[in-house]
Amino acid sequence: MNQKIIVLDFGSQYTQVIARRIRECGVYSEILPYNTKASKIKGDDLCGVILSGGPASVLSPKSPRPDPKVFEMGVPVLGICYGLQLMGKMLGGEVVSSKQREYGHGKLSFKSSDSLLLKGIKSPMTVWNSHGDRLVKLPKGFKAIATTENSEYALIENKERKFFGMQFHPEVAHTIGGIEIIKNFLFGICGCKGDWNMSDYVERAIAKIRETVGDKKVILGLSGGVDSSVAAALIHKAIGNQLTCVFVDNGLLRKNERKSVEDLFKRNFKMRFITAKAAPLFLKKLKGVTDPERKRKIIGKTFVEVFDKTVKSIGQVDFLAQGTLYPDVIESVSIDGNPASLIKSHHNVGGLPKRMKLKLLEPLRELFKDEVRALGKELGLAHDVLWRHPFPGPGLGVRVVGEITKKRLDVLREADAILIEEMKSSGYYGKVWQSFAVFLPVKTVGVMGDERTYDNVIALRIVESLDAMTADWAHIPHELLAKISNRIINEVKGVNRVCLDISSKPPSTIEWE
């Protein structure tokens, strides 16, 4: 039995990043709803509890609170941002609303040098803040061990009870030395051994799939991307021919996508495989739709309808398998069902009918992209499958900004194919997280062959990231960008301008819609 750290989720967009950082350290982490009873958390394998951040204010009477008995379990507890304020208020301290919201970089200065949490870390350190409330009175038994410009109690501890709270986010890359703080909590305070690995996860996941599915049948939407491919391999290893993979041609695919996916899985897999040709249906339902959320919901709903129709051709099926990942889940949670604020719905987790005929099977729901790739390697998947750039479930439907038409899709397909070809031939495809083209519903004046043109704009989005929760634009050589731009303008009819997206996440998202 692996040791574990429980992360109680209060709705922070960084909750999954906390879990990912813990696993990076070789410690199994599990995220549970904020109101999970302490009796369900306790166990011989529990080493510690982390209270995540969140968008709510502890001053609100409706703010999310944990079971008070969480503080009576006898294990270390770490509160991050909202978690600090929550711990402070629930244990007898005082929290007030700040006159000025503290967001972005800050300087953390140490007041104490003997805290296990700060072992091996030099003061001052750069941290990332994101909060509107602050602690102004400490609970009994606590002391301040570090401050920031706007917070006297930016880092607090109760050494006897092994309770800690920090106003900043140690889990994000913007906090320099944050991973060292997390390691100090895991190993120096919680006593974790760091013996969790992907092999353990494979065994546990296979056992869970078998237990969930039993002797029932499963279908999976296979796109050929990393997520669905790994999900297919994992499920197939667990239940064999009980799985049927269905590839849906929704008309929103990249150039030659259907043929390449069919060829790939005939060559690399021995699974039941069906192609559902449904492009006209998707394009008909998307006609005239411009709102990105409506697009996603229409694509998701139509996707399930196509699956329902496919089910009839293969007999009784009980489960629909999807390659849903942690980032998909956290970015899709609405304020009604979770304290997190809605960013956008995802194809895998949004737009599904309330009375879907199939039960959902999501074996990758707890993993980040890099972990999925590690899982795929453990399962023996080929390198070209595992290192394909992420492609959204709604496909080019969310890369054509505005109304989706076949003409716009064809223009985007050609531009995107040139971008990917040049990224691969230059060796930069494997150096970045994601690269793709976006069709903008904007026309600009140009001159081609001494004649005036009034054509479309293509934006290039090329980013570096570890887990898709944060990302920065990739600094690609100007010569390569120039070559890509020249080829797109010269070879793709209907385009006379190419732009480069140089925004980071946050505040922007990787995809445009």
Question: Which residues touch 469 (CB under 8 Å, ≥6 apart)?
Answer: 13, 14, 16, 17, 20, 327, 330, 368, 505
510, part of any domain: no
Residue 198 is which amino acid?
M
509, part of any domain: no
216, part of any domain: yes
Q: Please check whether residues 44 and 72 belong to one and the same domain.
A: yes
Measured between alpha carbons, how far is 89 from 35 in angstroms, rounded to an integer? Answer: 17
Q: Please check whether residues 116 and 246 belong to one and the same domain.
A: no
Question: Which residues touch 49 (CB under 8 Å, ≥6 apart)?
Answer: 5, 6, 7, 8, 41, 70, 73, 75, 76, 77, 78
370 is in an annotated binding site: no
Active site residue 131: no
Write phi, then psi, for 8 (nearest 5 degrees): -85, 125
Residue 313, pLDDT score = 83
* Of 188, 93, 108, nearest in space to 145 by CA: 108
Residue 350, pLDDT score = 42
392, part of any domain: no
The dihedral region occupied by 172, where left means phi > 0, alpha psi between -120 and 50, and beta the remainder, is beta
Q: Please check whether residues 20 and 159 belong to one and the same domain.
A: yes
Q: Domain range for residue 174?
A: 4-189
Q: Please check whether residues 114 and 226 belong to one and the same domain.
A: no
328 is in an annotated binding site: no
User: Does this model's pTM top 0.85?
Assistant: no
* Of 104, 77, 81, nearest in space to 154 by CA: 81
Q: Please check whether residues 374 and 415 belong to one and the same domain.
A: no
With beta carbons less than 8 A apart as the criterion, state whether 439 and 456 touch: yes
* Edge-to-edge strand list for the sheet holding 218-221: 272-277, 243-249, 218-221, 319-321, 359-361
Residue 1, pLDDT score = 60
Q: Please check whether residues 223 and 166 belong to one and the same domain.
A: no
Using DSSP, state whether 33 is helix, strand or coil: strand
Measured between alpha carbons, how far is 419 from 462 in angstroms, rounded to an integer? Answer: 10
Measured between alpha carbons, how far is 89 from 406 in angstroms, rounded to an integer? Answer: 56
Q: Please check whether residues 183 and 233 belong to one and the same domain.
A: no
487, part of any domain: yes
Active site residue 25: no
Counting the structural domains of the chain, the total is 3
225 is in an annotated binding site: yes
Residue 101, pLDDT score = 58
State how beta strands 94-110 and 125-137 pair. Answer: antiparallel
Residue 213, pLDDT score = 96
223 is in an annotated binding site: yes
Q: Please check whether residues 184 and 208 belong to one and the same domain.
A: no
Final residue belonging to a domain, choices 189, 216, 239: 189
With beta carbons less than 8 A apart as the criterion, state whether 512 and 461 touch: yes
Q: Please check whether residues 431 and 490 belong to one and the same domain.
A: yes
Residue 344, pLDDT score = 44
Q: Please check whether residues 308 and 343 belong to one and the same domain.
A: yes
Residue 466, pLDDT score = 79
CATH code (residue 335)? 3.40.50.620
130 is in an annotated binding site: no
User: Per the residue annotation, which of 47, 131, 169, 371 is the catalytic one?
Assistant: 169
Residue 463, pLDDT score = 96
60 is in an annotated binding site: no
Final residue belonging to a domain, choices 171, 189, 207: 189
Q: Please check whether residues 265 and 382 belong to one and the same domain.
A: yes
CATH code (residue 170)? 3.40.50.880
Final residue belonging to a domain, choices 354, 386, 418: 386
Residues lower than pLDDT 50 in the chain:
333-337, 341-347, 349-353
507, part of any domain: no
Active site residue 171: yes
CATH code (residue 421)? 3.30.300.10
**For the chain, give me the number of helices (H) and strands (E)?**
14, 18
Q: Which residue's structure tokens are 């489960």?
A: 319
* Of 76, 49, 62, 130, nearest in space to 470 by CA: 130
Burial code (b: 16+ CB inside 10 Å, e: under 16) for 119-158 equals eebeeebebbbbbbbbbeebbeebebbbbbebbbbbbbbb
Residue 349, pLDDT score = 43
pLDDT tens string 108-121: 888 877 888 889 88
75, part of any domain: yes
17, part of any domain: yes
Measured between alpha carbons, how far is 225 from 219 in angstroms, rounded to an integer? Answer: 16
Structure tokens of 250?
């929704």
Measured between alpha carbons, how far is 123 from 145 in angstroms, rounded to an integer? Answer: 11
User: Per the residue annotation, which of 47, 81, 190, 192 is the catalytic one?
Assistant: 81
Question: What beta strand segments (E) does 343-433 contain?
Answer: 359-361
195 is in an annotated binding site: no
Q: Please check whether residues 144 and 225 belong to one and the same domain.
A: no
User: Per the residue annotation, which of 102, 157, 171, 362 is the catalytic one?
Assistant: 171
